[in-house]
Each structure stands twice: as structure tokens, then as C-alpha cells.
Amino acid sequence: MGLPVKPLSIARNIDPKNIKNQEAIDKLINYLERSKPYIPCYEARKQLGLRNSSNVGEKANDLLVADRQKKNGMSWSELGSVALASLTALVKNGEYKNWFGTKTIQFKLVY
């Protein structure tokens, strides 16, 4: 098993003569820096016996967004889509009473 590749390091060390659009590279570096806490290390997950698939997230999208917004042929703004997904998640997780009553939700990991 080799050392994990570090995308930020690679992006920062591209030879300038090989870059057509520095702005695009800067945008990529900014994205990677902002998203770093959310980008999984698949090798570490594999070694820990954790899942490396997106099927749980895909199913959540089906339940929260796609079924309501896509199948009915509706057109949604980004803000409206996020709002509907948030409300649907509150209902599906049984947290809507907490949220509307106290503006809090419980954070529970389900295994």
C-alpha cells in the first residue's frame, strides 16, 4: 500500500508552465481547502472496515428530494429545494416537534 495522494499538495505544486488557467487552479485549491473536513479518506475507511459507497447518501436524496421534486415534474429554486429537503428530513427523522418547539434537534448516529 502506497502513501495516500494529497490533492492539495499536487494542485499547489503544478509547474506554472503547465497551467493554462491559474484562476481555475486557484478555484480548485480553495474548494479543496474549504471541503477538506468533508472529503473522506477511502483508504483509512477501508482499513477501519467502514463503507466507501455513496448508496446511503443516494437513498437519502431519493427520500428527501427526488421523489417529491422530480417525479411530480415540478421546477424548484435552489432555496426552495433546500427548504423542502430540510423539512422532509425533520419529518423523516421525527425531529420536527423539537425543531418547531425549541429550535433544536438531536444528533444521533444510527448504525
Q: What is the pLDDT of residues 10-25, one digit of tens each?
A: 999 999 999 999 999 9
Please give the Cα distance from 99 to 40 (Å, whole number): 29
- Band (59; pLDDT cuts 50, 70, 90): confident
Residues ≥6 apart with Cβ < 8 Å to 12: 29
Least confident span in 1-5, 15-19, 87-91, 92-96: 1-5
φ and ψ at residue 93, rounded to 5 degrees: -95, 5
Q: Please report, for residues 35, 44, 64, 109, the alpha-carbon distance to residue 51 in angstroms, rounded to integers and kept in the order given.
A: 20, 11, 21, 15
Please give the Cα distance from 75 to 81 (Å, whole number): 9
Q: What is the pLDDT of residues 61-70, one digit of tens each?
A: 777 777 667 6
Report the pLDDT value the prediction gives residue 1, as an integer from 0 to 100: 41
Kindly list the domain boundaries of the chain, sorted by start residue.
7-47, 55-102
Does residue 34 surpass a pLDDT of 80? Answer: yes
The pTM assigned to this predicted structure is 0.44
Report the pLDDT value the prediction gives residue 17, as an integer from 0 to 100: 92
